[in-house]
Structure 1
Amino acid sequence: MKSKKLTALILVGMLLGILVGYLFRQHAGDDAAAIKSFVDGMSILTDIFLRLIKMIIAPLVISTLVVGIAKMGDAKSVGRIGGKTMGWFIGASLVSLTLGLIMVNILKPAWR
């Protein structure tokens, strides 16, 4: 039940973001100064949000790994899991890097 509530809150947040963006665009029109002012104000909130997420991720991942390794006990199984983890990490990194390079070459965001 809690998962459904969180999903609903995320969807409401997305819809509110779309609505605020649409209403602001209707209000500001093509006024570049108003748009820049709004974007600068919103960027403070997004920076705070992203920094909070980054602050939480590293301790969460490290503590999860430490607890997982502590519960395993056997050094052989820890090594096997560690090897699989490194394989998945390297594989996911290569896939994301390749996908990013392909998308940059297709969309060329810096050349527009």
Structure 2
Amino acid sequence: MKNNKLFILIIVSLIIGIILGGIVHYQMPDSIDVFSKNIKLLGTIFIRLVQMIIAPLVFSTLVVGIAKMGDMKMVGRVGGKAMAWFISASLISLLLGMVLVNFFAPGKGTTIKLEDTSSASELLENSKGFSLEEFVK
């Protein structure tokens, strides 16, 4: 019953979000910019809170798991298998993504005007450290 309550709360929240978005879009079109900035702030806070919780949770789970195993050979075997699964799953998903993008060519033939790139410029500035653009030149 407890799992059903969480599921119901998620569905109700989704419906409330859709209704709120519709109200803002159709009833108050002049306040869309202010509303979207406030919602973006709320989303950013939520993502940062989740990131703040995930790192200690994963670390503590790994430490407790290794401590309960006791045998270092078993830890090595399990760690090796986990790394093999992670690397193989990553390679398969990357290869599948590359094949599907080259086969379906999403975005081909679209005529999207890139006049307003203000939202993308923030992303580009924040991700400069992850780019290989400087090394390619």
Q: TM-score range by the shorter chain?
A: 0.7 to 0.9
| 1:55 maps to 2:52 | yes
For the pair shown, the structure with the greater C-alpha radius of gyration is: 2
Structure 2 unmatched runs, 5+: 113-137
Moved over 2 A (4+): 91-105
Identical-residue share of aligned pairs (%): 52
Measured on the aligned residues, the alpha-carbon RMSD in Å equals 2.4
Q: Taking structure 1 as reference, are residues 40 and 57 closer, same or farther at Cα in structure 2, changes over 3 Å only?
A: same
TM-score (norm 1): 0.80
Q: Using the TM superposition, give the Cα deviation of residue 10 of structure 1 relative to its aligned residue in structure 2, in angstroms.
A: 1.0
Could you say which residue in structure 2 is the equivalent of 1:27? 27
Aligned ranges 1:55-74 → 2 under 5 Å? 55-74=52-71
5+ unaligned residues in a row in structure 1: which ranges?
none
CA 1:66–1:5 in structure 2 vs 1: closer, same or farther (change >3 Å)? same
* Structure with greater helix percent: 1
- Provide Cα deviations, 1:3-28, integer angstroms capped at 9, x if missing partner: 11111111111111111111111113
TM-score, structure 2 normalization? 0.67
Matches within 5 A, 1:1-112: 1-29=1-29, 31=30, 34-98=31-95, 101=98, 102=100, 105-107=105-107, 112=112
Report the count of equivalent residues.
Answer: 107
Spell out, residue by residue over 1:33-88, the C-alpha distance to the aligned partner (whole angstroms, 9 max, x if none): x3222111111111110000000000000100110111111112111110111122
